[in-house]
């Protein structure tokens, strides 16, 4: 079940579309935020609210890379390694995150502080290598700069 505030937000979202089904993607975002990840309970809540069968909701949700299907760390490090970032050293940064923080692609640090997601181009190619931490963009990354940035996220 969603709390009262989330319900209000979801009703507003629903009004943006001519039918309930079209609100599925935004509703999954709200569920992910409220439940922390798209757990069976989260899918149940979305399914009940929109009248979309659970199997359909899960089928759609698992198609998209940005929905989380296991509990994630408090901060999501989303590092791009696509070509523009790769040729400017993104692979070294992947190694750095592993060696310094024990953080591997798709994994979470033991203290639950960070999860790492390898991204397929985040549109910051002119300032590569780049990453998002949660909703914040960071560009022209170096090992030292990453260390500084991650200090800000507890």
Contact set for other proteins, span 27-46 (CB under 8 A): 28-29
Would you count residue 51 as binding other proteins (CB under 8 A)?
no
Distance from the Cα of residue 130 to its chain's centroid: 16
Q: What angle do CA 119, 122, 126 make, to 5 degrees?
A: 125
Give the integer Cα–Cα distance in Å for 131 and 64.
19
Give the integer Cα–Cα distance in Å for 27 and 10.
7
Would you count residue 149 as binding other proteins (CB under 8 A)?
no
Binding segment for other proteins (CB under 8 A), chosen from 16-24, 93-101, 102-110, 141-149, is 16-24
Would you count residue 64 as binding other proteins (CB under 8 A)?
yes
Binding segment for other proteins (CB under 8 A), chosen from 1-9, 52-60, 98-106, 107-115, is 52-60
Give the integer Cα–Cα distance in Å for 63 and 8.
27
Would you count residue 141 as binding other proteins (CB under 8 A)?
no
């Amino acid at each position: 079940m969603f709390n009262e505030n989330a319900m209000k937000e979801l009703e507003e979202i629903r009004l943006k579309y001519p039918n309930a089904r079209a609100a599925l993607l935004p509703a999954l975002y709200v569920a992910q935020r409220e439940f922390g990840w798209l757990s069976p309970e989260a899918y149940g809540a979305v399914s009940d609210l929109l009248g979309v069968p659970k199997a359909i909701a899960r089928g759609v949700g698992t198609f998209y890379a940005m929905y989380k299907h296991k509990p994630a760390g408090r901060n999501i490090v989303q590092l791009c390694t696509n070509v523009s970032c790769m040729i400017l050293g993104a692979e070294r940064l992947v190694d750095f995150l592993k060696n310094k923080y024990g953080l591997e692609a798709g994994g979470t640090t033991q203290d639950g502080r960070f999860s790492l997601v390898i991204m397929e181009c985040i549109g910051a190619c002119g300032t590569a290598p780049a990453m998002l931490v949660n909703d914040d963009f960071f560009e022209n990354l170096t090992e030292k700069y990453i260390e500084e940035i991650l200090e800000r996220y507890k």
